[in-house]
Amino acid sequence: MNRRRFLKVLGVTGGGGATALSGCSTDNVEKLIPYLVPPENEIPGLATWYASTCRECPAGCGFHVRVREGRAVKVEGNPNSPINQGKLCSRGQAATQGLYNPDRVRAPLSRGDNGFFEPITWDAALARITERLNAVSGDRVWFVTGNEAGAFDSLVSEWLAALGANPSIVYEPFGYEAMRHANRVVFGSDSIPAYDFAAAQYVLSFGADFMDTWLSPVEQTRQFSEGHSYDSGRMGRYVHVEPRMSMTAMSADEWIAPNPGTEGALALGVAHVIVRDRLASVPSDVSRIQTLLDRNDPASVSGVTGVSVATIERLAHEFTAHSSLAVAGGVGAQHDQAHASVAAANILNYVAGNVGNTVTFGADINPSGESSYASVASLVDDMAAGRVAVLFVHGADPAYATPANLGFAAAMRAVEFKVSFSRFLDDTAMEADLVLPDHDPLEQWNDFEPRAGVYTLQQPVMQPVFDTRQTGDVLLALAAQLGGSVAATFTAASYKDYLQARWQRLQRDRRPFDVFWTEALQRGGMWTEPGERAVRLAAGAATVAEGTWPQPSGEQLTLIAYPSPALYDGRGANRPWLQELPDPVTKLTWNSWLEINPVTAERLGIADGEMIEVSSAHRTVTVSAHLYPGIKEDVVAIPMGQGHRWFGRYAGARGVNVLDLLAAEPTEFGGMGHFTAVTLRNTKDYEPAATPAGRSRQMGRGIAQATTLAALAHPEEQHEEEHSEHAAPVPEHIEEVLDEWQEAQYREWKQRGNYAAEDLPRWAMAIDLSKCTGCSACVTACYAENNIPTVGEKLMRRERGMAWLRIERYFEGGGDEPLEVRVLPMMCQHCGNAPCEPVCPVFAAYHTPDGLNAQVYNRCVGTRYCSNNCPYKVRYFNWWDHSNENDAAFSFPDPLHWLLNPDVTVRSKGVMEKCTFCVQRIRGKQNELKLSGESLQDGDVVPACQQTCPANAIVFGDLNDPDSRVRAMATDSERGYHVLGSLNTRPAVTYLKKVTNSAD
């Protein structure tokens, strides 16, 4: 029985079900303006913005939701938020696809006698639960939630307490158990400190993918690019230690691949050298761990890690030469001995005197979200043993996000009554007896505390799309129905009241509450600065674990299950934007893959795209191989996030769930072990990869150029200019002739038509490659802003993706010399001498007076000559009718089409399209200014990609404005260059060379 059949049955059983599926309760939104009388603040054609909080991951970034005619159409980072300061990642940008996801549960469902779900009214559903709860004793009631730090958390706890039930179990697949454990041992505090990547000029990461998913990626990316990127002669240095080069590691100046799971030993080795040579003012109490350090002298460490003694010594000196920061975490802190790695990193920070500087306790990250895999494992035992009568699951999908061997789903069947509050029919909800769909985060009242002192608010930005109900209200309603002591516990009539009551307690000042409340709502929350907490080395610090991951022997390889930058732990898998987003590292889409080093692959006779049978002690999965030079030999990796059994049309039955391969037993520190030993068998079946990437080498064409800090510091010295003969510049005298000619043309246009207008801007963009991390947030933002259709796996195999903006990823070096990764955002270059324009027979492509390379869809006949003649290949053709619901390629199944941006055309079949520099935003701003009579200031117009870029790599503006930022960057003689400039296309996009701070 597959997903489709299930939905079919669901649709057939009961007419109510049918209507529920075909979207009932949407009447009020079917109208263009869903109000009988539009309220004052709702002017048709003008957007309303609401501040809210992103709940796509526990980082808790704040965002603004753009609402047009009562429908949320886009989210953008909230500039006031202390976490993300106006930036968002891909997952945040895709939040609207959760809201409008066609696979949302559209009404409460209960499992009928035939085993299939049938629609049920809310009252009936609540009645059933009440009856159940009255029937069973409290200690047989369990509640599993996701990481909820705030009102909902306390509501659940109070509710359970009132019931006399067990405390709730919080389950986040990445609960940072190892960090908490290690911090407890080393510093005696199990909270997660704040790491300051901006202040650190030297970052040493032991497997912490702090720009992918670890802790607060957007915030850390911003800080990192502040602290690390090249700025007038200065830049930081970043060394990454991990057997696999993650997206974060691609930005590293040096990548060290030790034996898997030996990062801890390396950290101790470095600490050893620092203490030995007194490289830093080592705190006195380090003597406690002297013996520990002595045991880890460079020689022995080198033996364990496979990193040379010289390197260890060098790292120690570099680490102490500048203000530095060592972080251990991410997937590097997910193997059996990971707590040792983190502890070692802590010690390293401590001996180098970073604790209190770049590592500060107090503003602790995610204070109350203490989830643990161990507790889930014990719950499974209870369930299997029949000790659980009623199970509530909210905001978590443990049936999917735990190893198959744990048997969560199977154990659930032993529970008499299972209630899921999931918004989607995920693998856990499919096991439930009752599904009471919660509101989407964009539809609900809520708050969240991503770090001590930072309280963010969520507010409903639009009418609920479906017949859903906020779980908080459901719990309160249940309490009322249960009556007696339970009902007495709660005074709040609704969850909103409950929330406000909590915020009344939070209010510090004397103002009336509603003033405070409104202000908080507008700001997006309330930020306070908790005091810093000094920590010393704990007494038990000497007893920290020193273990390393046991290297597998013989034919076995180490498999690493790492979180996907786009899908995270899998919760993003039902968002088509995220599925179609090329993985920042491998550039693969819509599926799972096995990363394997080319050398190992050759040894095992494995070719790219061949289906490989991966067998661990626990399970076997079959997945296609991807040869990746950025992974250590004899180590393989599979991203998490795919392999859902259910979870809707986009995620269901796609790829493999790598967790199936992992061991079910919790690790010593209570987490899930993400490393396991596997053997590979080549099935010889071949499956072409769904990737937009052609070649991964630049063929020396200087597309993504780079230089070194040394070269910039001493330009007078002769550094061999890479790709010099290819990026051959146009000779000086030719340049002059061309310029004069250009001027003559310009004067001629100035006499005619639209071109005759005075003081026109010339729009241009500049991209700093020393900031760009390749995180691809801009790509998703572009999808969201410009109504770009997703085409699905089959078409991606033919490179028919429609992304206007792509992140090109090239490898340099590799093999014997160090591997370097270059990333380059490539969108329409809006050339001054655009090759695409003159070849269009019908003027569909032409040059606007303000320097845009316009594409008029309604003129386009579809000869596709423009794309042939575009050296950058940034024009995309509508091969299919993605907007026709009768066509196979239909991209916007109801209600997904509600998030289409009303300001942007949905392109029809047979026309060419491309990046417009977000012309709708330019014109919108210009009209706005025309009305207000002000003049355009630099930074007034912000395209979607620049708006969301967490690294602030993209700058847009007017070249004719002498003191615009983009002008300054475009004329940067030090690093500025044009891609394929030798073709004399005069691009409006200037790239600033990437700078690597190589070891001195």
Partner 1 sequence: MKREPAGVIATFRHVDAATDAIKALKELAYKDFIVYTPVPNVEVAAAVGHKVSPVRVWTLIGGLLGVTTGFAMTLWMSYDYPLVVGGKPLGSVVPYVVIGFELTILFGALATLMGVAYNAWRTNQRGGFDPRFTNDTIGIFVPCAEDRSNAVEQLLTKNGAEEVRYET
Partner 2 sequence: MATIAQPQQDAIPTYDEVTRDIAATLGKPKPGYFVLLGIVLVVLLIGAIALMYQVRYGLGVAGYRPPVLWGVYITTFVFWVGIAHSGTLISAILYLFRSAWRTSVYRTAEAMTVFAVMTAGLFPLIHVGRIWYAYWLFPYPNQRQLWVNFKSPLVWDVFAVSTYFTVSTCFLIVGLIPDVAAIRDLATGWRKKLYKLAALSWRGTDQQWRHYTRAYLYLAALATPLVLSVHSVVSWDFAMSIVPGWHATIFAPYFVAGAIYSGVAMVVTLLVPLRKVFNMERYITVRHFENLAKLLLLTGLIVGYAYGVEYFIAWYSGNPFERASFWNRAFGEYWWATWTMILCNGVLPLFLFFKKIRTSIPALFVLSLFVNLGMWFERFVIIVVSLSFEYEPYAMGHYTPSWVEFAILAGSFAWFFMWFLLFAKNFPTVSITEVKEIIPMPRKRRLHE
**What residues contact residue 453 under an 8 Å CB cut-off, 6+ apart?**
363, 527, 528, 529, 530
Instruction: Mark the segment that binds partner 2 (CB under 8 A) among 62-70, 536-544, 758-766, 804-812.
Output: 804-812
Q: Quote the least distance from Cβ 919 to partner 1, whole Å.
A: 16
100 binds, among partner 2, partner 1, none (CB under 5 to 8 A by kind): none
Q: Is position 695 an interface residue for partner 2 (rule: CB under 8 A)?
A: yes
Q: Is position 13 an interface residue for partner 1 (rule: CB under 8 A)?
A: no
Q: Distance from first CA to last CA of the chain, Å, rounded?
A: 62
Q: How would you label 944-973 residue by residue, b for 16+ Cβ within 10 Å and e otherwise?
A: bbbbbbbbbbbbbbbbebeebebbebbebe
**What residues contact residue 685 under an 8 Å CB cut-off, 6+ apart?**
610, 611
Token pair of 595 as six digits: 């990363």
Q: Please, what is the angle between helix 298-305 and helix 309-321, to 10°?
A: 110
Nearer to partner 1, 519 or 748 (CB): 748
- As a three-state string, the secondary structure of 676-719 is EEEEEEEEEEECCCCCCCCCCCCCCCCCCCEEEHHHHHCCCCCC
Nearer to partner 2, 550 or 871 (CB): 871
833 binds, among partner 2, partner 1, none (CB under 5 to 8 A by kind): partner 1
Token pair of 565 as six digits: 């930058």
437 binds, among partner 2, partner 1, none (CB under 5 to 8 A by kind): none
Among 64, 68, 87, 847, binds partner 1 (CB under 8 A): 847
Instruction: Mark the segment that binds partner 2 (CB under 8 A) among 39-47, 496-504, 856-864, 967-975.
Output: 856-864
- What DSSP designation does 372 have? -
Instruction: Mark the segment that binds partner 1 (CB under 8 A) among 272-280, 413-421, 520-528, 749-757.
Output: 749-757
Please name the amino acid found at residue 781: A
Q: Is position 527 an interface residue for partner 1 (rule: CB under 8 A)?
A: no
Instruction: Count how many Cα atoms sit within 13 Å of the Cα of residue 344 in the half-sphere of its side chain.
Output: 34
Q: Is position 721 an interface residue for partner 2 (rule: CB under 8 A)?
A: no
Helices (H), 758-856: 777-786, 793-796
Span 24-63, contacts to partner 2 by CB under 8 A: none
Q: Is position 814 an interface residue for partner 2 (rule: CB under 8 A)?
A: no
Q: Is position 703 an interface residue for partner 2 (rule: CB under 8 A)?
A: yes
Q: Is position 834 an interface residue for partner 1 (rule: CB under 8 A)?
A: yes
Token pair of 943 as six digits: 């395209």
863 binds, among partner 2, partner 1, none (CB under 5 to 8 A by kind): partner 2
453, 527 in Cβ contact below 8 A? yes
Q: Is position 960 an interface residue for partner 1 (rule: CB under 8 A)?
A: no
Compute the Cα dihedral for 538, 543, 549, 551 and give only its sign. Answer: positive
Among 872, 898, 917, 956, binds partner 2 (CB under 8 A): 872
How many angstroms separate the CA atoms of 685 and 689, rounded? 13
Cα R_g (the chain), whole angstroms: 29
Among 137, 742, 927, 937, binds partner 1 (CB under 8 A): 742
Among 980, 989, 992, 995, binds partner 2 (CB under 8 A): 980
Q: Site map for partner 2, 507-546, x if CB under 8 A?
A: ----------------------------------------
Span 774-833, contacts to partner 1 by CB under 8 A: 832-833
Q: Quote the least distance from Cβ 195 to partner 1, whole Å.
A: 50
**Cβ count near 922 (within 10 Å):** 23
Query: Residue 234, class by beta-carbon neighbours within 10 Å (0-12 exposed, 13-18 middle, 19+ buried)?
Result: exposed
Span 875-914, contacts to partner 2 by CB under 8 A: 876-881, 887-889, 909-912
Q: Is position 761 an interface residue for partner 1 (rule: CB under 8 A)?
A: no
Q: Which residues pair with 820 in a beta bridge?
A: 812
Q: Is position 804 an interface residue for partner 2 (rule: CB under 8 A)?
A: no
Q: Quote the least distance from Cβ 985 to partner 1, whole Å.
A: 9
Nearest Cα neighbor of 492 from 797, 155, 776 is: 155
Q: Is position 850 an interface residue for partner 1 (rule: CB under 8 A)?
A: no
958 binds, among partner 2, partner 1, none (CB under 5 to 8 A by kind): none
Q: Quote the least distance from Cβ 979 to partner 1, whole Å.
A: 18
Q: Which residue in the block uniquely carries the two structure tokens 């000042």?
A: 509
734 binds, among partner 2, partner 1, none (CB under 5 to 8 A by kind): none
- What DSSP designation does 413 have? H
Nearer to partner 2, 315 or 840 (CB): 840
Q: Is position 701 an interface residue for partner 2 (rule: CB under 8 A)?
A: yes
Helix (H, G, I), strand (E, B) or coil at 391: strand
Q: Is position 49 an interface residue for partner 1 (rule: CB under 8 A)?
A: no
Span 962-991, contacts to partner 1 by CB under 8 A: 986
**What residues contact residue 791 under an 8 Å CB cut-off, 6+ apart?**
580, 800, 801, 802, 880, 882, 889, 891
Among 167, 605, 749, 934, binds partner 1 (CB under 8 A): 749
Q: Which residue in the block uniquely carries the two structure tokens 């009961």?
A: 14
Token pair of 423 as six digits: 């918004």
Q: Quote the least distance from Cβ 889 to partner 2, whole Å.
A: 7
Q: What is the residue-wise DSSP string for 290-320? A: HHHHHHT-HHHHHHHH---HHHHHHHHHHHH
Q: Is position 865 an interface residue for partner 2 (rule: CB under 8 A)?
A: yes
Q: How would you label 44-60 residue by residue, b for 16+ Cβ within 10 Å and e otherwise?
A: eeebbbbbbbbbbbbbb
Q: Is position 244 an interface residue for partner 1 (rule: CB under 8 A)?
A: no
Q: Is position 846 an interface residue for partner 1 (rule: CB under 8 A)?
A: yes
Q: Is position 858 an interface residue for partner 1 (rule: CB under 8 A)?
A: no
Instruction: Mark the segment that binds partner 2 (CB under 8 A) among 614-622, 650-658, 693-701, 964-972.
Output: 693-701
864 binds, among partner 2, partner 1, none (CB under 5 to 8 A by kind): partner 2
Token pair of 306 as six digits: 């496979």
Q: Quote the least distance from Cβ 686 to partner 1, whole Å.
A: 43
Q: Is position 840 an interface residue for partner 2 (rule: CB under 8 A)?
A: yes
Q: Which residues pair with 707 in a beta bridge?
A: 995
Q: Quote the least distance from Cβ 843 to partner 1, whole Å.
A: 5
Q: List contacts with partner 1 (CB under 8 A).
A: 742, 745, 748-749, 752-753, 755, 832-838, 840, 843, 845-847, 986
Q: List contacts with partner 2 (CB under 8 A).
A: 693-695, 697-701, 703, 725-726, 795, 798-800, 806, 808-810, 826, 835, 838-843, 859-865, 867-869, 871-873, 876-881, 887-889, 909-912, 980, 983
